């Protein structure tokens, strides 16, 4: 089986197997970093029980929503777009 085929446009794309071959380790690394960051937040919450600010911080909520986007099935390959759209909620001009 060839590694590349034409996708929706006339430009060829990698096979899913090839994507795994090329990006599995990178993605594993990124996921570990995310897990470690969430652990760091949790340890901080335990050590600083009076820190109310983080509980209402929009960024924490956005990260939780972003993880749901990552875990969800998607009909279209549009996760990156949906994530970026989500993060625009931090933009002061966002309505």
Partner 1 sequence: MFIIQPHYHAIARTAQDYERMAQSGVLCVAEPAFWAGFDRKYPETFIDYFRQITEFEPTRAAQYGITHYAWVAVNPKEAENPELSRMVLEKMPEFFEKPNVLGVGETGLHLSSKNECDIFEAQVQLAVDYDQLLLIHTPHLHDKLYGTKKILEILDGFPNLKPEKVWIDHIEEHTIRPVREKGYWTGFTLYPITKCTATRACDMLEMYGWDRMLINSSADWGPSDPFTLQEAVLEFRRRGHSLQEATEIFFNNPARYLGQNPKFKFKPIRIEEER
Residues of this chain that bind partner 1 (CB under 8 A): 25-26, 28-29, 32-33, 36-37, 39-40, 43
- Token pair, residue 63, equals 């990260």
Minimum distance, C-beta of residue 76 to partner 1, in the bound complex (Å): 29
Q: Return the number of the residue (40 or 59) whose C-beta is nearest partner 1.
A: 40
Q: Return the number of the residue (32 or 70) whose C-beta is nearest partner 1.
A: 32
Instruction: With both helix axes pointing from N to C terminus, report the angle between 58-71 and 16-47 in degrees, rounded to the nearest 10.
Output: 150
Minimum distance, C-beta of residue 27 to partner 1, in the bound complex (Å): 10
Minimum distance, C-beta of residue 55 to partner 1, in the bound complex (Å): 21
Q: Return the number of the residue (25 or 84) whose C-beta is nearest partner 1.
A: 25
- Which of 32, 55, 58, 30 lies closest to 42 in space, CA to CA? 55
Q: Which residues of 26-40 are buried (b: 16+ CB within 10 A; e: fewer)?
A: eeeeeeeeeeeeeee
Q: Return the number of the residue (50 or 95) whose C-beta is nearest partner 1.
A: 50
What is d(CA 39, CA 64) in angstroms, rounded to the nearest whole number?
13
């Amino acid at each position: 089986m060839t590694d590349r085929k034409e996708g929706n446009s006339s430009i060829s794309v990698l096979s899913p197997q090839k994507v795994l071959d090329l990006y599995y380790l990178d993605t594993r690394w990124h996921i570990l970093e995310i897990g470690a960051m969430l652990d760091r937040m949790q340890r901080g919450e335990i050590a600083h029980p009076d820190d109310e600010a983080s509980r209402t911080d929009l960024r924490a909520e956005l990260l939780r929503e972003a993880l749901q986007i990552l875990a969800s099935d998607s009909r279209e390959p549009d996760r990156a777009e949906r994530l970026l759209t989500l993060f625009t909620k931090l933009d002061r001009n966002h309505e």
